[in-house]
Structure 1
């Protein structure tokens, strides 16, 4: 009912505008000489046909959509519609008058067109102006309140918009049009020097990126909105480095690709997450290559309930495998994964196997039953401090378990085998890294004579994985702090779990046998900076609300991680985020241990002896196999 009432009012007003425009056109055309016979003769043509002329104009307005536009959001597009509608109206009137065998002076059409454009536009834009009078913080309401107390009050959030482009303008207009959000844009920022000092949608552009902190303080900004969807990750990171020096809440528009075909609005804003501080553009994979080796295949994922393993299962499900076999020793994690995958991929055939990779007999049963074509080996003990205190367990799981998987993959003619490794395997200073390096060496040795395509993927820390620093920091913040960092200069490489897993799956398509792929992790991140950012994103001020305590390096911990051994070299692959290291000849000690006697490899007997060794003896044994393993190095750094 309200809608039809609004249209009826618009129609009535437009009828008045049309006739007023023609009357004024006649007056201007004949110099306001209304008493002359010439005026009467020509005016009679209009007056005698006022109904068809008015109907023709209203019909043109209807056809051009003047009664379907939302004039509270009127802009250049609506003004263009008005011009086209007025022009179409004149053409329809000319056609109507000609059809009736009549004629009006050409000047009447031109002058009435100008009057129509002006009056139609003025009336419709005045609607927006009147609404602006009721919008807190608008320039219109400010004009009406000169000399009076500002009615905005203390509950309005003062906003700075970074980006004075189209997205920034849309965001400012959106906030102005919706006072229910309780926000007021007080200032804008843009690095374009031409825009500095000018206004965008009534908001002053007060400076560039370098001025963010100063401008935020000057205008009392509570919230910063980054409205540059076309900017790359490095540019966004640079802006956020400035924003985090303020105490403002930070929100960001999604990237341009996420906004395609969608209007820029407050609903599209999201909170800044820790991933935004990594400064890396999103990973893209070759879907055709991946599908070629996964689609229709049986894929096994060991450690399927872990952070990497579960994400592997989620993403592999996208590529239409015949079946996924998720193997894990812990039932709770894979139980949760089962429910999630049923929702994500209802048609996916999923089998959960509770088993340990240490138990070769049990794993052989699994291989014989499911006959996997592709294996992603993610099962491992990965926590550095825990493995320093439990080196025997690391050897059993990361070496013996991996050897079992390698042997069974060869025996059962698995097509591809991809092992998840770590940057800690490079010049290792801890047990976990040394055992993972042994796993890499065994894989490369196996690849030299097996039909199965074996490859390893080496990368650093993943954000949000079980036991990683981000969840630990957040738990410490929930308890009121302090957040603990081992050393002020310690750095680590980071990736998000989904992008790491996408690249792992991509390497499976690129593998030819024996490669160690290295993922481009971007620039290393200082853990101290990471801790400060997590505190800020939680709504606190570092060292004021939440303290940061330095605890000293833990056993086996490096100040920095490496991704490549010097002798491995590095080559680019077809993917700009994936590199490959040259395969190295097996260590003679390990090669001898891998020789079989009486149907068993020597290393299997060696690992049985490990259970009787002391922790120091286990580390010494690892040094024999991995000469560049330096357990004492952690205490030196």
Structure 2
């Protein structure tokens, strides 16, 4: 019985319509009896069946077209009551017309008492149809309450229309895992009032309410609060051990109804959110509209988001270049669903393959280039320095040189904060790439030489004729990128394993992927050439605190339900990242979140020679020689927690000998 009453739908809609018809028929007959003073012989001789049949026919048609039977009765509200009121009124008016136009002339009968019958019937029918719905709803609520012994109690944040929508939606989606205990918010004027039979509490009393009502969770609509206020509420919940659930804005509900799978646990990304960035879309649009845009690393976290955002500016063509087949296919399917297929070209290739890159440039002639292709995982690159050099340095040089050769208008390189005072191979390769990109804006040098490894291709171009502006963007970690700390922590928590942190004091800067890409597009649109743009990453986050918060967000206690294990720094890993080194300063730009780093410039000839030597050493597969050359090119590259630390000691010894 309990399961029957609490199912999502227990009877078909046509049965509800029949029940409404039966109630209406009985009410009309009873009203007729009242008017006739229950004189049954007179009633039967007075065409009672004709009157009742005609009224039922009119009523069922009106009820059907006004759809008063289509909603779930257990969730009836004042709107449903108004629809019933309107349906009975309209039925009565139509019935009077039918009575005078059709029934009276056809049957040659008088209908003097019918208006009185309709008036009495109006009140009786409305009362009984409403009572039927209230009874079903009451029984349903009682059965749900009986079944709620093991359900979690939740509070809904807010006391406005959005909060009421959330309450109604949660009740309608028939979620058996929780029961609504009330509303909570900051509005003191509404405290202790009732909304839909639920009390409104003040957020300051949340700790006491947790104990008194035994509340386990708080439900919040994503758009109810600004970033700052939302963060304050979330942090309060975390301190109290309250799990936070989020629901999307009402305009994102499926067919106007909230689905169970749209009620989600709060994500750590929500806790790390900052105020939305305001970018100059007009400036970016002028830069991209009608242009041919190349995105390398298009299958990666940053590259794929660049593709999504660039396509919003209606370019002539977007070339998605990557060597990862499956992820590239996924982003292709995604953007082709949302944008014109004719705008999109997919080019699968390795940026190290100069011939393939030359073919791509020659075939598509890109005007704007976003270079996001790179190896990024520090420990892996520490074990594979040759691959890091080939992709992050040589691959970048290939794309940059071809940009000059084919007169691309702008080249925007995506770099990293790990390039600042690098302590690992990955960071050092990115710094070398930065240096080379900057050098291409030095017009004192005469000739850019392009030579492929097999010596089958050779071209020269005078740098004085260079039309390409080279811009570098530098920022820290992005939230949720593949292989990063947050997805790893999330998987460990879901599996009930210990969350592994490399050091209790390690910190990192974080930025959402869309936010980072917005700033990349903004910086790219204003760059004149030679700049390294540094993004405001906010305050650094302690990774162990991040782990604790993620465990709490999952409804568990750190070090009790889920242990936190300190494993030690990985090869090449820093305790903290820097966006500038000690000798670098910044200049402000038009955007408060973007600054220009003042960095030392390197002559094009010198860095080109160094990269050529580095490339030859890489071909010999001697890791120590490769890293040693990298340290010569980037003197601030000091290895940490790495097998290459001995090279720094040898270098220092040589320096001391030379000094003495």
2:277 and 2:254 map into 1 onto residues whose CA distance is 19
Q: How does 1:372-521 map to 2 (within 5 A)?
A: 372-384=366-378, 397-426=391-420, 432-433=426-427, 435-447=429-441, 449=443, 450-474=466-490, 476-477=492-493, 478=495, 480-488=497-505, 490-505=506-521, 507-521=523-537
SS in 2 for 1:204: strand
**Hey, what does 1:74 align to over in structure 2?**
76
**Hey, what does 1:301 align to over in structure 2?**
295
- 1:171-218 superposed Cα distances (whole Å, 9 cap, x missing partner): 44455456673532234323322333333333333x333433442333
Q: How does 1:8-87 map to 2 (within 5 A)?
A: 8-18=18-28, 64-68=66-70, 70-85=72-87, 87=89
**Hey, what does 1:199 align to over in structure 2?**
194
1:221 and 1:194 map into 2 onto residues whose CA distance is 23
**Hey, what does 1:278 align to over in structure 2?**
272
**Hey, what does 1:351 align to over in structure 2?**
347
1:174 and 1:4 map into 2 onto residues whose CA distance is 24
SS in 2 for 1:78: helix
1:209 and 2:222 correspond = no
* Alpha-carbon offset, residue 542 of structure 1: 0.8
* Unpaired segments ≥5 residues, structure 2: 1-10, 444-465, 619-623, 646-660
- 1:432-477 superposed Cα distances (whole Å, 9 cap, x missing partner): 4455345434434423653113222222101232442123434555
How has the CA–CA distance of structure 1 residues 21 and 381 changed in structure 2, closer, same or farther, with 3 Å as cutoff? Answer: same
- 1:111-154 superposed Cα distances (whole Å, 9 cap, x missing partner): 9769735751553243233343144565xx6xxxxxxxxx4365
1:70 and 1:633 map into 2 onto residues whose CA distance is 64
How has the CA–CA distance of structure 1 residues 112 and 2 changed in structure 2, closer, same or farther, with 3 Å as cutoff? Answer: same
1:539 and 1:23 map into 2 onto residues whose CA distance is 63
* Alpha-carbon offset, residue 528 of structure 1: 1.8
Q: Is the 8 A contact 1:409 1:417 kept in 2?
A: yes
- 1:474-530 superposed Cα distances (whole Å, 9 cap, x missing partner): 455547225214233x43222333443354345444444334444454543332221
Aligned pair partner of 2:132 in 126, 135, 143: 126
How has the CA–CA distance of structure 1 residues 265 and 83 changed in structure 2, closer, same or farther, with 3 Å as cutoff? Answer: same
2:260 and 2:558 map into 1 onto residues whose CA distance is 28
How has the CA–CA distance of structure 1 residues 230 and 365 changed in structure 2, closer, same or farther, with 3 Å as cutoff? Answer: same
* Unpaired segments ≥5 residues, structure 1: 142-150
Give the aligned CA root-mean-square deviation in angstroms: 4.8
How has the CA–CA distance of structure 1 residues 104 and 447 changed in structure 2, closer, same or farther, with 3 Å as cutoff? Answer: farther
How has the CA–CA distance of structure 1 residues 388 and 114 changed in structure 2, closer, same or farther, with 3 Å as cutoff? Answer: farther
How has the CA–CA distance of structure 1 residues 352 and 430 changed in structure 2, closer, same or farther, with 3 Å as cutoff? Answer: closer
How has the CA–CA distance of structure 1 residues 81 and 441 changed in structure 2, closer, same or farther, with 3 Å as cutoff? Answer: same
**Hey, what does 1:619 align to over in structure 2?**
631
SS in 2 for 1:380: coil
Q: How many residues align?
A: 586
**Hey, what does 2:574 align to over in structure 1?**
557
**Hey, what does 1:567 align to over in structure 2?**
585
How has the CA–CA distance of structure 1 residues 177 and 505 changed in structure 2, closer, same or farther, with 3 Å as cutoff? Answer: closer
**Hey, what does 1:148 align to over in structure 2?**
none
The 10-residue stretch of structure 1 (460-469 or 227-236) with the greater mean CA deviation from structure 2: 227-236
How has the CA–CA distance of structure 1 residues 567 and 136 changed in structure 2, closer, same or farther, with 3 Å as cutoff? Answer: same
**Normalised TM-score (structure 1):** 0.74
Q: How does 1:140-289 map to 2 (within 5 A)?
A: 151-152=146-147, 154-176=149-171, 181-205=176-200, 207-227=201-221, 229-247=223-241, 249-256=243-250, 258-259=252-253, 262-280=256-274
2:228 and 2:124 map into 1 onto residues whose CA distance is 47
**Hey, what does 1:147 align to over in structure 2?**
none
Q: How does 1:601-612 map to 2 (within 5 A)?
A: 601-604=608-611, 607=614
1:563 and 1:218 map into 2 onto residues whose CA distance is 51
SS in 1 for 2:147: coil
* Alpha-carbon offset, residue 286 of structure 1: 7.2
1:540 and 1:308 map into 2 onto residues whose CA distance is 32
**Normalised TM-score (structure 2):** 0.72
**Hey, what does 2:654 align to over in structure 1?**
none
**Hey, what does 1:116 align to over in structure 2?**
122
How has the CA–CA distance of structure 1 residues 379 and 10 changed in structure 2, closer, same or farther, with 3 Å as cutoff? Answer: closer
How has the CA–CA distance of structure 1 residues 461 and 229 changed in structure 2, closer, same or farther, with 3 Å as cutoff? Answer: same
- 1:530-584 superposed Cα distances (whole Å, 9 cap, x missing partner): 11123334554211122224456665624354479863222234xxxx7443474
* Alpha-carbon offset, residue 339 of structure 1: 5.3
2:532 and 2:23 map into 1 onto residues whose CA distance is 75
SS in 2 for 1:231: coil
